[in-house]
Amino acid sequence: MSDPQTIAAAVAKLYDTYPFPPEPLLDEPPPGYNWRWNWLAAHSICTGQKPAKQDIRILDAGCGSGVSTEYLVHLNPHAHITGIDLSAGTLAVARERCQKSGADRVEFHHLSLYDVAQLPGEFDLINCVGVLHHLPDPIQGIQALATKLAPGGLLHIFVYAEMGRWEIKLMQQAIGLLQGDRRGDYRDGVTLGRQIFAALPETNRLRRREQERWSLENQRDECFADMYVHPQEIDYTIDTLFELIDASGLEFFGFSNPNTWQLERILGKEPAVMQRAAALTDRQRYRLIELLDPEVTHYEFFLGRAPLPKADWSDDRALLSALPERSPCINGWPSHCLFNYDYQIVNLSEPEFQFLQACDGNETQTVRDILGAVALELKEVRSLLQQHLILLTPQPE
């Protein structure tokens, strides 16, 4: 299957048959948050500072059944959201999902990524999760999205990694081989795939990997179909990933799971090896990480269009004059023990708690003003910033 229109029709048929993601529809806003879908948090984490405006336009490019769209609406109360998808059946689920939960600042269009130019205007935030790797020409897709990104805007992308999906690719090919002329009958593919897994010896590597990593989510046929019988998938390595990124003409703002891409977690016990790695470029270091840790199953990252300057808070005067605000992506506040933007537990000291209290809804007090009443050192303010517990707005000194 190589004709783009044939591929598009096959992909649309899959998601018409199995709308994805299959999360339940709720009569209330979705629980919790994903900071990558929160404009304030994403902009602050990428650039180090709070964005200048919140009344923005957001595009959910390949919105599927509207799970991400719904979050984008509820997490960005001043934004207008547009969702597009290739599957009419899946879009119907997205519309119902958003209607039920009160996500009313959204419009949907039955469009391919390739046709995004048909939408009017530009977007400040574009979300494209799990879509580009299902296109016959991902470079054309990312370039189409890049043309719709406004100056100062961010593009959030998720694509598959080849290393961590090795067993998945083998099972995809095995199912296709056994389906023969029935390939493209996705319900048959799911039934057959489950029969194959049931037949494999317990010691079989493909079966073990499914049980260890994927079986819980793959209890749902929608997830199993998306993983094992998808008609179009391109997986990436770091080298091919950055070919895709470079083709966009946008700036790479980093992975949204940065801890995965820290070489210290793999080689930190051997200073001599770390010293050799110090001579590597960022991309070479990323490549080394994925070679040494083939568990990496995907890449999730942000790109941006200039002007999108990064704040430098190493200067004490600039930090003291900034306006601090509590991050919107904190769970459990107000409490000394809470979950941060990445749902990791944080235990606040009493002065840190008092500082965050002063930041809550703050519009006028600078860091200097708050430190006049709270016994906190400037290095501890920087620690709160590094943990993404506060957002900062630069002010004239």
Question: Cβ of 101: how many Cβ atoms within 10 Å?
Answer: 19
Residue finishing a domain among 228, 252, 282 = 228
Q: How far, in Å, are 43, 60, 182, 371 from residue 120 at the CA level?
A: 23, 14, 41, 46
pLDDT above 80: residue 1: no
Residue 330 lies in a domain: yes
Q: What percent of the chain has pLDDT over 70?
A: 99
pLDDT above 60: residue 344: yes
Residues 146, 20 share a domain: yes
What's the pLDDT at 396?
Answer: 83
Residue finishing a domain among 274, 304, 334 = 304
Residues 327, 366 share a domain: yes
Residues 239, 224 share a domain: no
Residues 186, 156 share a domain: no
Report how far residue 329's alpha carbon sits from residue 346's, in angstroms, rounded to the nearest whole number. 13
Question: Cβ of 110: how many Cβ atoms within 10 Å?
Answer: 14
* Averaged pLDDT of the chain: 97
Whether the CB-CB separation of 227 and 164 falls below 8 Å is answered with: no
Residues 39, 126 share a domain: yes
Residues 176, 157 share a domain: no
Residues 50, 20 share a domain: yes
What's the number of domains the chain is made of? 3
The β-bridge partners of 326 are 390
Tens of pLDDT along 74-116? 999 999 999 999 999 999 999 999 999 999 999 999 999 999 9
Residue 310 lies in a domain: no
pLDDT above 60: residue 49: yes
The CATH number assigned to the domain holding 243 equals 3.40.50.150
pLDDT above 80: residue 293: yes
Residue finishing a domain among 228, 249, 268 = 228
Specify the 3-state DSSP secondary structure of 348.
Answer: coil
What's the pLDDT at 228?
Answer: 98
The two three-digit tokens of residue 29, written as one number? 């806003």
Specify the 3-state DSSP secondary structure of 43.
Answer: helix
Domain that holds residue 78: 4-162+235-304
Tens of pLDDT along 170-189? 999 999 999 999 999 999 99
Tens of pLDDT along 204-225? 999 999 999 999 999 999 999 9
pLDDT above 70: residue 155: yes
